Amino acid sequence: MNALSSEREVPFRRLALVSNQAFSLCNFRSDFIREVVSRGVQVYAFAPDYESETRSRVEALGAIPVSFALSRASMNPARELLIVLKLMRKFSELNVDAVFSFFIKPVIYGGIAAWLAGIPLRYSMIEGAGYVYSGGGRDSILRFFLRHIVTRAIRLSLGFSRRVFLLNQDDFNLFITPKMARSGKVVVLPGIGVDLDYFSLSPAVQAPITFVLVARLLKEKGVYDFVAAARLVRSRNKFVRFLIVGGIDQHPSAVPYAEIRQWVDEGLIQWPGHVADVKSWVENASVFVLPSYYREGLPRSTQEAMSLGKPIITTDWIGCRETVMDGVNGFLVPVRDPTSLAAAMFRFIERPALINSMGAASRCLAEQRYDVSVINSTVLSAL
């Protein structure tokens, strides 16, 4: 027994965290990494896109960055099998005794590789079913084909997992009903958690009224609906600001750079692109907007906005509807409906006092649901 108290023990000493982005490890896993490291665990942080800044940030958390090849868009079977085999070999070389994978592809590849390597403790967290399960009721042949393949792969990988973490009841129904994972090993979390001290209550912004969308620039995130609603609003009120914060994405449904540039050039939106820390951008906005029909888990960006005390406009859609008590801390709107989205925006423009009252309600809900220390404790207890 080491110096750590028994209630702080975890059943592993060398943990591999597998993600599809180094950025997500720095921004979304930092509190979890620090907590696990504090318990005497050596953490290896796997990501495919390290560069000097993200590598330094992960090292500052006490983890060891490990690069591995992964393409979010690739569908080459030979290439994908090679990635799994290389992961298996790396797990064995590092002698890890537990693997915790996040997001769909890492869950599939990390889970299978860990099983092949004979690693006894395998954990998975699915933060939304993602692109292949998205569409808002409209499916292409490609998406239907991919869904069939991914469903089988997820069923295989989750079968190897000792514990599966999900973020909403819809995903529980999706993954458990077709027996992708046994219900007894599934934990549904209220979110991945937010540092409520860092994302503290910020002042309400009523002049100028500013609507902000923070997201990967994919059409399923509702970018086109946000822009269409902005046109409707600005046709009646030229003084309202619209911000889109997010970088260009290498993805089948990415919004083309030329279109974003056109919206900026005509003065419809402001677009700072990808930013390392979205906090200041959300703090200086009035209302957070996410008109998504992407198959979300529970959007971290919305959790952060609520913690900062911002009202929310989002869709009555999987993973999004959980963040809003309609009429209390914001408004729910139908998917793919810019007119309804604009109408919700006008409610804040016409009654700016709602920005303060609904923002305060958002903060209250965040304190009740999203405290990262509470969620990390739940996760570690489940491990």
Residue 299: CB partners within 8 Å, gap ≥ 6? 215, 290, 292, 319, 320, 323
Is 202 part of a structural domain of the chain? no
| CATH code: domain of residue 271 | 3.40.50.2000
pLDDT at position 335 over 50: yes
More confident site: 179 or 190: 190
More confident site: 169 or 94: 94
Residues 173, 242, single domain; the answer is no
Given a contact cutoff of 8 angstroms between Cβ atoms, the answer to whether 319 and 302 are in contact is no
Is 302 part of a structural domain of the chain? yes
What's the confidence (pLDDT) of residue 6? 39
pLDDT at position 154 over 90: no
Rounded mean pLDDT, 59-87: 87
Tally of domains in the chain? 2
Average pLDDT, the chain: 91
Given a contact cutoff of 8 angstroms between Cβ atoms, the answer to whether 193 and 371 are in contact is yes
Q: Which of 77-81, 186-190, 234-238, 355-359 has the lowest mean pLDDT?
A: 77-81
Is 379 part of a structural domain of the chain? no
Reported pTM:
0.90
Q: Which of 183-187, 304-308, 366-370 has the lowest mean pLDDT?
A: 183-187
Rounded mean pLDDT, 7-25: 89
* Boundary-marking domain end, from 158, 188, 218: 188
Residues 219, 334, single domain; the answer is yes
Residues 155, 226, single domain; the answer is no
Type of residue found at 168: N
Residues 120, 241, single domain; the answer is no
What's the confidence (pLDDT) of residue 178? 64
Per-residue burial over 57-67, b if 16 or more Cβ lie within 10 Å, else e, is bbeebebebbe
Rounded mean pLDDT, 316-327: 96
Q: How confident is the model at residue 132 (pLDDT cuts 50, 70, 90)?
A: confident
| CA–CA dist 67, 52 (Å, integer) | 12
| CA–CA dist 105, 87 (Å, integer) | 13
Type of residue found at 105: K
Using one digit for the tens of pLDDT, what is the confidence trace for 24-53? 999 899 999 999 999 999 999 999 999 999
Residues 25, 158, single domain; the answer is yes
Domain that holds residue 109: 6-188
Using one digit for the tens of pLDDT, what is the confidence trace for 77-92? 788 889 999 999 999 9
What's the confidence (pLDDT) of residue 77? 75
What's the confidence (pLDDT) of residue 106? 94
Given a contact cutoff of 8 angstroms between Cβ atoms, the answer to whether 104 and 125 are in contact is no
Residues 357, 218, single domain; the answer is yes
What's the confidence (pLDDT) of residue 278? 93
Residues 105, 30, single domain; the answer is yes
Q: State the distance between the two ends of the chain, measured CA to CA, in whole angstroms.
A: 19
Residues 183, 214, single domain; the answer is no
Residue 57: CB partners within 8 Å, gap ≥ 6? 26, 30
Residues 111, 218, single domain; the answer is no
* Boundary-marking domain end, from 188, 220, 255: 188
42-47 and 64-67 strand pairing: parallel
Residues 92, 216, single domain; the answer is no
Residues 253, 284, single domain; the answer is yes
pLDDT at position 310 over 90: yes
Q: How confident is the model at residue 22 (pLDDT cuts 50, 70, 90)?
A: very high
What's the confidence (pLDDT) of residue 2? 35
Residues 345, 273, single domain; the answer is yes
- Is 343 strand, coil or helix? helix
Centre a 10 Å sphere on the Cβ of residue 367 and count the other Cβ atoms it contains.
Answer: 14
Using one digit for the tens of pLDDT, what is the confidence trace for 109-124? 999 999 999 999 999 9
pLDDT at position 8 over 60: no
Is 197 part of a structural domain of the chain? no
CA atoms within 13 A on the CB side of 98: 19
